Amino acid sequence: MTLLGRWARTLARAPRLPDIGDAMWNEPYLETCCRSALNRLRIARALGRPPGLKDGPCLARLAGMGFCRERPDGRFEITEAGIDRHRTEILKEPRAA
């Protein structure tokens, strides 16, 4: 039997992890830099964050996830989804029911 065959047999006998289904946290992961950018957006409120800063890639990533949006003047502002994510991830408040 080949090494690959023995490995496949061993893997087939390996114990299975339980299916945790909906209990699994299923929100997109935010890197530390993106969490910081989200916090700065929340602090800036209606003023927004200007383009061209070091957190620009994070702001673009957050916009792609719907946590902020780019305004016509080029500044980024937090969205309702961003406020909710800030509440649960930064402030560590429980999720609203």
- Is 6 part of any domain? no
Q: 20-74, pLDDT tens digit by residue?
A: 554 445 677 889 999 999 999 999 999 999 999 999 999 999 999 999 999 999 9
- Is 11 part of any domain? no
Please state the domain count of the chain: 1
pLDDT confidence of residue 19: 55
- Is 4 part of any domain? no
- Is 79 part of any domain? yes
**Pairwise CA distance, residues 87 & 42, whole Å:** 10
- Domain CATH code at residue 33: 1.10.10
Give the number of other Cβ atoms within 10 Å of residue 59's Cβ: 25
Write down the residue that tokens 């305004």 correspond to: 71
Give exposure, 8-25, as e/b (b: 16+ Cβ within 10 Å): eeeeeeeeeeeeeeeeee
Range of the domain at 48: 29-97
Q: Yes or no: say if 89 and 69 are a contact pair by the CB < 8 Å rule.
A: no
- Is 23 part of any domain? no
- Is 14 part of any domain? no
